[in-house]
Amino acid sequence: MNGYTKEQLQDNKKYLELLSQNFPNITSAVGEVVNLKAILNLPKGTEHFLTDIHGEHEAFNHVMQNASGAIKRKVHQEMGNTIAFEDLEELSTLIYYPEEKIDLISKERSQESLDNWYKLTIYRLVKVCRAAASKYTRSKVRKALPKDFAYIMEELLQEDEHRFNKKEYYQEIIESLVKFDRAQHFIVEISGVIKRLTIDHLHIIGDIYDRGAGPDEVMDTLMCHHSMDMQWGNHDILWMGAAAGNAACIANAVRIALRYANMDVLENGYGINLLPLASFANRIYSDDPCHKFRSKISENHAVSDQEGALMSKMHKAIAIIQFKLEERLIDNHPEYQMEKRQLLQTINFENGTITIEDVVYPLNDINFPTVDPSNPSLLTDEEKLVMDRLIYAFLHSEKLQKHIRFMYAKGSMYKVYNNNLLFHACVLLNDDGSFKEKEIDGKSYSGKKLMDKFDQMAREAYFGKTHADKNLTQTDFLWFLWCHEDSPLFGKDKMATFERYFIDDTTPHKECHAPFYLLIDDDEELAQKILIEFGVDPDQGHLINGHIPVKATSGESPIRAKGKQLVIDGGFARAYQKTTGIAGYTLTYNSYGLILISHDPFESVEKAISDGVDIKSSLMVVEKSTERKRVRDTDTGKELMSQVEDLEMLITAYRKGLIKEKQY
């Protein structure tokens, strides 16, 4: 125990008095010290890292259910020597989807056979759950247990079914669960406990939104998770801006939903009424086939020709509105220095060309019925009405606002966690690798301070206004983070949306990556420099990010900067899988080290339940710890050690008579 002087104790007396209310005597304080020191020697809990989900809720949900294969590995580890392979696979699937799997099995068996299956399955699940709980304190496990079965589960988990004195006691618990028709409910609940204990903490490293069909369902799942954090991606910040009422962000969000035929996200997910836009687009572009605006229809969508034609018109209508809004926003913010992105102003409407970077390109579409050549960024009265209704709908979508508030509560521009630096895209650098400086309100920021400033500004953009505000210009900063070359969430010199729609020549389509991407690949020293800037041990820490899909089929590696950087975007979104060749990476960090997992495309929940078709995954050990990491090696461990020091100081104060023990 530390030898505290009377002066130290006196200086901290007020705090120690408060602490003594929870630990009223030496015995209680010593008991807590013993407890905390014991916890420090437990194995570190498993962290699970995912990024760039992009609304692929089915694949995301399956990875959450199987913990990137960790549950199947645990099942095989605990039961592999005692039961057949088919039974191992069935048990794994049961843990993933207990209700659905039980429904399927109950249709195939007689009642007597089903009852026997229940008994055997509960026995096996308890054994797997006991293994999952083995590295946690009894108190932590107790908190993870469902209220309905907390006592029964605790008894089963703590007792050995082979112990002679309690063998019949153990068996009777399981018999009674089946007899009183609670077996199914128990299996569902204990499967949930196994999943919860297998992954201690979840990290989402950005881009939950856009492209896929169910970002709202992903958010619903995350809001129920017991322990998680997220780092914002540029697609997330776009929806944060839309929820704040920013017109340019709203137009972008609607355009992307139409581009990927995901109107259900808006209409059914968030209650956004698209009828005003549909009516406007159908009238204005009635004779325009809008070929370049055909939605990317996936195999999961059944869209008639008429619906597809209407979506194309809506797509073009909102895209033109978006370009106008963005040009006006740029006018309002000369400090953004984005005048070169005001492309409508460079169109020659007479000969159908556009000038970009002093090069003249022919346009593939010259039908702009709502664009005034003398004032291209001016919205027509009908366009204003469409946007007013969309803004109102986004601001008053209760579910969207709930999701975005959760994203602010759990999210940030970056996070340092257990000696790793987590961020979505990049850190702003100059071409020589130095930290890029940005002047904001007359003050210069770079590195960590710049990220912290951007974080504060992103929060102020949402919380610093009310829905009654007429002037929403402060929300423009969220649009800046969506697409500006100096946004650490974007990391490119431009977003060439206009060029991809209207110019067939692919030269101006190219979006150049920020210096971070050009410099970091083989530069271990640069990675260490960034880690030091954010207060991370450069020898032990890693940069973990996503944003740019790793082209695995082209030989790209997710492990860069000689192991100091891990890029874990492997193409969760179906739109990227042809490029990456896989269907996403996940990363786990347990007491033994870092493991990177690559996944094949997910077929369906139905296939997983009926045929046991799991996502095929490949493991790659990134870093193996020479000594097993304990809680004391984590951020939680540091907090616990600080608590131990405080308690030791309190014990000394009791013994020196500075603070009086409370009597019961």
User: 122 with 183: CB under 8 angstroms?
Assistant: yes
Flag the least confident range among 479-483, 651-655, 658-662.
658-662
Res 6: pLDDT: 85
Res 115: pLDDT: 93
Res 470: pLDDT: 45
Confidence of residue 221 (pLDDT cuts 50, 70, 90): very high
Global pTM reads 0.92
The tens digit of pLDDT for each residue in 231-285 reads: 999 999 999 999 999 999 999 999 999 999 999 999 999 999 999 999 999 999 9
Q: What is the largest CA-CA distance in the chain?
A: 94
CA dihedral 295, 299, 304, 305 (to 10 degrees): 50
Hey, is 178 helix, strand or coil?
helix
| Highest mean pLDDT: which range of 294-308, 416-430, 467-481 | 416-430
Per the model's pLDDT, the better-predicted residue between 132 and 468 turns out to be: 132
Confidence of residue 128 (pLDDT cuts 50, 70, 90): very high
Spatial distance between the Cα atoms of 635 and 391, rounded to a whole number of angstroms: 42
What's the whole-number average pLDDT of the chain?
Answer: 91
User: 490 with 468: CB under 8 angstroms?
Assistant: no
If one counts every other C-beta atom within 10 angstroms of the C-beta of residue 376, the result is 19
Which residue ranges make up each domain of the chain? 6-42+644-655, 66-202+575-629, 215-509
Is the pLDDT at 326 greater than 80? The verdict is yes
Closest C-alpha among 502, 181, 152, 523 to residue 344 = 502
Res 606: pLDDT: 79
Spatial distance between the Cα atoms of 295 and 261, rounded to a whole number of angstroms: 6
100-127 average pLDDT score: 92
Res 300: pLDDT: 53
Please report, for the chain, how many H helices and E strands are present, in that order.
28, 17
Flag the least confident range among 404-418, 449-463, 549-563.
549-563
Conformation bin of residue 657: beta by default, left when phi > 0, alpha when psi is -120 to 50? left
Spatial distance between the Cα atoms of 186 and 176, rounded to a whole number of angstroms: 11
200-213 average pLDDT score: 93
Res 162: pLDDT: 61
Spatial distance between the Cα atoms of 441 and 204, rounded to a whole number of angstroms: 32
Is the pLDDT at 471 greater than 70? The verdict is no
Res 226: pLDDT: 92
Per the model's pLDDT, the better-predicted residue between 134 and 383 turns out to be: 383
Res 165: pLDDT: 64
Res 650: pLDDT: 94
Q: Are strands 420-423 and 542-545 parallel, antiparallel or unpaired?
A: parallel
521-528 average pLDDT score: 94
- Kindly report the backbone phi and psi dihedral angles of residue 202, in degrees, each rounded to the nearest multiple of 5, phi listed first: -115, 135
